[in-house]
């Protein structure tokens, strides 16, 4: 600011006398700057600030430096990965060692008692009656513990409860130190073995993609009575868990397709009424040939209802949308063309997938492609498969020859891991300037 004569006005001449004694800094926003004199006066005093005499405002600035609890802890992390909790395996990978997958998704059968219209397994040669035999399954569970697998999900391919050995496999897994879980349509869940499930499984997820009888018939192509039956079973499990103090998490998963956009809020409300811990809503995974015909651009139409559903979350009930995957197709022009955010798939040694006939593959989308078949647990020990040359030659084949932009469908199971591992392998410059 200039005087009439052109000389500069001093800053002190423009402020009130009280401030003049302690000018400090002024903010452009006009927000009051912390009163440092007050800080000095209360140094070492950690008691909460007291209201100023005759006023609501505190005379002492906020000195709280602990957690604010404004950012809620994410309870399940459905829309991401947990690799940072397994850095020992990452280090083994960086050293070029052979190591067991942290997690395996595996089918126990190759057939199902429902015919959900979004089912990925139908493009992978479902075969009635095909399943992993009891003896091979139990041997596999023991081998998994021995080789160092940390968790197994009975997920994918056919319905797991159609394999009668599923319950004994869960009991055995706990004794050999492998966390176990199951995704099921729930209709054939043997309630006589409910205690074994709740006691030994870390979580059970019900594949339910509708919130009304009519929607259930439409999406799962199953009888309306089955919708009632499923709700009864879930309610019974929730009650048993409470009564006996089991830790098993119980949840619902909705696979989002345009045919069930009208069911989003109905199912979110149903989950709360059933007393489950969560509802997760995920994208429908299509094959690399687009055989299920999913038009990802339509997901934008569901956005408002998805947000309303998430708003139904409470302290005890989480509704979470896998936005990263649902938005993937629309995220960038590159993604729309199927281009991924990494060039090489590094994730398969950490997360493996097994077909319901015992075939071991690096990933579910490659089921049935003999070039990537690593072995079969009905004929071989899983320990030998993981430590053998063939297993690692297939991983190398993927790293070297698979073009993830062309050979893979959007949003496969290893996608989150691949982004993390790609970044690790391709650091930016100046990494020490964190
Ligand atoms: S990126 Fe491709 S190869 Fe890797 S896991 Fe996904 S589908 Fe399989």
CB of 394 closer than 6 A to ligand 1? no
CB of 410 closer than 6 A to ligand 1? no
**Percentage of the chain modeled with pLDDT above 70:** 79
4 pLDDT tier (thresholds 50, 70, 90): very low
Site to substitute for ligand 1 among 352, 396, 402, most atoms within 8 A of C-beta: 402
Q: What secondary structure letter does DSSP report for 403? A: -
- Give the ligand 1 atom nearest the CA of 418: 1
Alpha-carbon span 49 to 62, nearest angstrom: 7
Q: What secondary structure letter does DSSP report for 257? A: -
Map residue 418 onto helix, strand or coil: helix
pLDDT given for residue 3 in this prediction: 45
Q: How close is the Cα of 414 to the center of ligand 1, in Å?
A: 6
Alpha-carbon span 164 to 231, nearest angstrom: 22
19 pLDDT tier (thresholds 50, 70, 90): very low
CB of 200 closer than 6 A to ligand 1? no
- Give the ligand 1 atom nearest the CA of 340: 1
pLDDT given for residue 220 in this prediction: 94
Q: How close is the Cα of 321 to the center of ligand 1, in Å?
A: 22
Alpha-carbon span 314 to 277, nearest angstrom: 10
pLDDT higher than threshold 90 for residue 265:
yes
Q: How close is the Cα of 306 to the center of ligand 1, in Å?
A: 28
Tens of pLDDT, residues 267-315: 999 999 999 999 999 988 776 677 777 777 788 899 999 999 999 999 9
pLDDT higher than threshold 60 for residue 262:
yes
pLDDT higher than threshold 70 for residue 253:
yes
Lowest mean pLDDT among 113-122, 159-168, 241-250, 317-326: 113-122
According to DSSP, the residues that pair with 180 across neighbouring strands are: 152
Say what the alpha-carbon torsion angle 165, 167, 172, 173 is, to the nearest 10 degrees.
Answer: 110
Tens of pLDDT, residues 337-384: 556 789 999 999 999 999 999 999 999 989 999 999 999 999 999 999
pLDDT given for residue 325 in this prediction: 74
Q: Give the mean pLDDT of 133-149.
A: 98
pLDDT higher than threshold 50 for residue 10:
no
Alpha-carbon span 253 to 29, nearest angstrom: 47
Alpha-carbon span 138 to 168, nearest angstrom: 8
- Give the ligand 1 atom nearest the CA of 348: 5
Identify whether the C-beta of residue 325 lies closer than 8 Å to the C-beta of residue 340. no
Instruction: Write b or e for each residue in 348-383: b if 16 or more Cβ atoms lie within 10 A of its Cβ, otherwise e.
Output: bbbbbbbbbbbbbbbbbbbbeeeebbbbbbbebbbb
Pairing of strands 318-321, 278-283: parallel
CB of 353 closer than 6 A to ligand 1? no
Site to substitute for ligand 1 among 328, 338, 348, 369, most atoms within 8 A of C-beta: 348
The residue whose CA is least distant from atom 6 of ligand 1 is: 412
Map residue 281 onto helix, strand or coil: strand
Tens of pLDDT, residues 60-94: 666 666 666 677 778 888 888 999 999 999 999 99
Alpha-carbon span 332 to 338, nearest angstrom: 10
Q: Which residues contact 146 (CB under 8 A, 6 or more apart)?
A: 176, 383
Q: How close is the Cα of 169 to the center of ligand 1, in Å?
A: 28
The residue whose CA is least distant from atom 8 of ligand 1 is: 363
Residue among 328, 334, 260 at smallest CA distance from 297: 328
pLDDT given for residue 29 in this prediction: 67
pLDDT given for residue 107 in this prediction: 96
Map residue 216 onto helix, strand or coil: helix
Site to substitute for ligand 1 among 366, 396, 406, most atoms within 8 A of C-beta: 366
CB of 348 closer than 6 A to ligand 1? yes
Identify whether the C-beta of residue 75 lies closer than 8 Å to the C-beta of residue 82. no
Q: What is the pTM of this model?
A: 0.83
Tens of pLDDT, residues 22-66: 556 666 666 666 666 666 544 444 454 454 444 455 556 666 666
According to DSSP, the residues that pair with 283 across neighbouring strands are: 256
């Amino acid at each position: 600011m200039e005087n009439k004569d052109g000389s500069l006005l001093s800053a002190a001449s423009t402020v009130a006398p009280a401030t003049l004694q302690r000018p400090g800094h002024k903010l452009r926003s006009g927000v009051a700057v912390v009163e440092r004199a007050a800080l000095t006066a209360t140094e070492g005093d950690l008691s909460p600030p007291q209201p100023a005499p005759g006023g609501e405002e505190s005379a002492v600035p906020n000195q709280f430096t602990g957690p604010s609890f404004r950012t809620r802890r994410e309870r399940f992390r459905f829309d991401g990965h947990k690799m940072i909790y397994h850095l020992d395996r990452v280090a083994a990978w960086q050293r070029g060692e052979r190591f067991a997958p942290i997690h395996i998704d595996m089918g126990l059968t190759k057939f199902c008692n429902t015919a959900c219209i979004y089912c990925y397994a139908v493009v992978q040669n479902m075969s009635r009656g095909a399943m992993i035999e009891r003896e091979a399954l139990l041997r596999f569970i023991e081998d998994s513990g021995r080789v160092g697998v940390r968790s197994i999900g009975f997920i994918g391919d056919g319905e797991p409860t159609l394999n009668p050995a599923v319950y004994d496999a869960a009991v055995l897994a706990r004794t050999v130190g492998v966390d176990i879980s199951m995704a099921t349509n729930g209709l054939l869940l043997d309630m006589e073995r409910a205690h074994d499930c709740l006691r030994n499984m870390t979580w059970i997820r019900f594949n339910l993609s509708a919130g009304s009888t009519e929607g259930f018939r439409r999406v799962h192509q199953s009888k309306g009575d089955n919708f009632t039956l499923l709700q009864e079973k879930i309610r019974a499990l929730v009650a048993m868990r409470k009564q006996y103090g089991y830790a098993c998490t119980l949840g619902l998963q909705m696979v989002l397709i345009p045919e069930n956009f009208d069911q989003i809020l109905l199912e979110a409300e149903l989950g709360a009424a059933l007393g489950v811990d969560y509802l997760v809503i995920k994208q429908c995974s299509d094959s690399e040939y687009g055989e299920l015909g999913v038009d990802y651009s339509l997901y934008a139409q569901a956005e408002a209802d998805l947000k309303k559903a998430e708003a139904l979350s409470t302290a005890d009930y989480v509704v979470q949308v896998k936005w990263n995957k649902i938005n993937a197709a629309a995220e960038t022009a590159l993604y729309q063309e199927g281009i991924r955010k990494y060039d090489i798939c590094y994730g398969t040694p950490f997360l493996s997938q097994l077909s319901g006939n015992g075939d071991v593959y690096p990933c579910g989308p490659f089921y049935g492609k003999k070039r990537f078949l690593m072995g079969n647990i009905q004929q071989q020990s899983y320990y030998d498969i993981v430590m053998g040359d063939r297993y690692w030659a297939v991983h190398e084949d993927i790293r070297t020859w698979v073009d993830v932009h062309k050979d893979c469908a959007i949003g496969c199971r290893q996608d989150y891991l691949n982004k993390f591992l790609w970044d690790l392998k391709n650091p930016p410059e100046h990494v020490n300037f964190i």
